[in-house]
Structure 1
């Protein structure tokens, strides 16, 4: 008997309509379910005194309901436990999530019957250093973003692959991305689209102040080192998957490498990466264009 953890973004499922739908499907097959205490009480579940630690420690698989932000938040914790995760899209894009709202019943049946595959996705590990002192260590599925603070001052970032100097990038910052993150922030600054199962790291400058700056790709076995110019007198920031932020200043060093372990994604459909890319990215662009046309009429 599986224990299925359910994590819901209450901003996306205000009345727990979709959460209730999912849990009812799980309970119909007499599977165990773990859900956060507030949602559990509202749904009338017994013995629902659970926090996130209980859910991650006692579940065989995690199903999260929300958008890509919810999925990233869950992935960052599930990675540490080696627990497979499945995302149900309640957001607008949902590029990382596997299931749409209308597919909840079928998805629940497949998960409980064990009819799913596991796809390993590369994670990034970031460490932030002030000299020899480690300030922070964190993990990302999508990207590590080094960016300027509130003041619009050019940020100079010396960049190395292992210990080999690549270049100094003046501009708004730098994105160090995994293959999974190639369709996130990296894409918006002109970075390449990469199949998510390839072992590499992408480095993309943000609004570079030199004409020849372009994204570059290095092997997953390398370490990307970024040093903030020592005389930079303003605040800057390291953002991890858009979930955590760390303030940095001149002289700080950020090292990004492939994490020791991968995150496990539960896959229940035969849709390949390029199919998802067309339907999610292209269709979203077409929808936005249609809305713009309608608003101008």
Structure 2
């Protein structure tokens, strides 16, 4: 594997983990790496490193190390995936499905990765855009990248949404539900899992459509190919009071856009995958066993 020489650092925005950031920058410099730190006010007390914008990081570095939880890595991934910059996550969150490097092993794990001892994994991302009612496709805003999921839901919790689902030009169904989750394989362990969606191996090129609290119990999750185009069209009475309909498209739980009756959310596979860097020996199923507590309480232990 090719060693890394120019490393970007992105930290958790609200509560930066300064000791880990300090150790991280020290290890990187001891390995002869150029260190570029995101110019983020939340990291004003972080260790010295050349401060650059997020866009400059995407243009200038060979690797970005993200300190935080999966949410921090999702935010960084939407910026780095289009530039084909790989990400390595240092987990200081709760679950850590994607940020799998532990702070206590930081020095030895980072040294190995920098010298070219690592595994790479490309994961499909989603591309989402809103098509306004009565507008043309040419009028639509540029699509947004989603690493985990694109969610249609009603922010007014007392009322369900009515909406149509389509795959390409093929009508799927009319739904009455609290909303719909469209997730990537990466996002299948996130919100979609809580909604009863299937786990999908990250090597798949596929999307899962997971209804949120559907009125009809037979309205179940389905999986479609990653080459398909999925569209959700918001239904209802155009005269409905705005207090009753507060439809929203949410991306990765971090970006939201309001919707009106007749608006559509279109989701396709993103142009460029998210590239993750893992220490040698990484196992997706080991992550699932650990995070989802599979097999706990059983005495038998499977060793390879």
> What's the TM-score, normalizing by structure 1?
0.90
Instruction: State how many pairs are aligned.
Output: 283
Asked if the contact 1:12/1:90 (under 8 Å) is kept, the reply is no
Q: How does 1:1-297 map to 2 (within 5 A)?
A: 2-14=5-17, 16-37=18-39, 42-43=45-46, 45=48, 48-130=50-132, 131=134, 132=136, 133-135=139-141, 137-231=143-237, 233=240, 234-282=245-293
Structure 1 residue 115, shift from structure 2 partner: 1.3
Asked if the contact 1:124/1:143 (under 8 Å) is kept, the reply is yes
Q: How far apart, CA to CA, are the structure 1 residues paired with 2:181 and 2:80? A: 24
Match of 1:294 in 2: none
Q: How far apart, CA to CA, are the structure 2 residues paired with 1:142 and 1:41? A: 29
Q: How far apart, CA to CA, are the structure 1 residues paired with 2:52 and 2:224? A: 42
SS at match of 1:282: coil
Structure 1 residue 41, shift from structure 2 partner: 6.1
Structure 1 residue 273, shift from structure 2 partner: 1.4
Task: State the Cα RMSD in Å.
Answer: 2.0
- CA distance change for structure 1 residues 152 and 274 in 2, over 3 Å: closer, same or farther? same
SS at match of 1:146: strand
- CA distance change for structure 1 residues 31 and 209 in 2, over 3 Å: closer, same or farther? same
Q: Which has the higher helix share?
A: 1
Asked if the contact 1:171/1:205 (under 8 Å) is kept, the reply is yes
SS at match of 1:150: coil
Q: Which runs of 5+ in 1 are unaligned?
A: 287-297
SS at match of 2:116: coil
Q: How far apart, CA to CA, are the structure 1 residues paired with 2:195 and 2:150? A: 14
Structure 1 residue 101, shift from structure 2 partner: 1.5
Q: How far apart, CA to CA, are the structure 2 residues paired with 1:53 and 1:9? A: 17
Q: How far apart, CA to CA, are the structure 1 residues paired with 2:270 and 2:194? A: 24
Q: How far apart, CA to CA, are the structure 2 residues paired with 1:43 and 1:173? A: 40
Q: How far apart, CA to CA, are the structure 2 residues paired with 1:43 and 1:157? A: 47
Structure 1 residue 149, shift from structure 2 partner: 1.9
SS at match of 1:56: helix
- CA distance change for structure 1 residues 90 and 212 in 2, over 3 Å: closer, same or farther? same
Asked if the contact 2:15/2:42 (under 8 Å) is kept, the reply is no
Asked if the contact 2:25/2:47 (under 8 Å) is kept, the reply is no
Structure 1 residue 43, shift from structure 2 partner: 4.6
Asked if the contact 1:121/1:262 (under 8 Å) is kept, the reply is yes
Structure 1 residue 107, shift from structure 2 partner: 2.1
Structure 1 residue 117, shift from structure 2 partner: 2.2
Asked if the contact 2:119/2:282 (under 8 Å) is kept, the reply is no
Asked if the contact 1:12/1:91 (under 8 Å) is kept, the reply is no
- CA distance change for structure 1 residues 41 and 243 in 2, over 3 Å: closer, same or farther? closer
> What's the TM-score, normalizing by structure 2?
0.88
Structure 1 residue 56, shift from structure 2 partner: 2.2
Q: How far apart, CA to CA, are the structure 1 residues paired with 2:194 and 2:280? A: 27
Q: How far apart, CA to CA, are the structure 1 residues paired with 2:43 and 2:179? A: 42
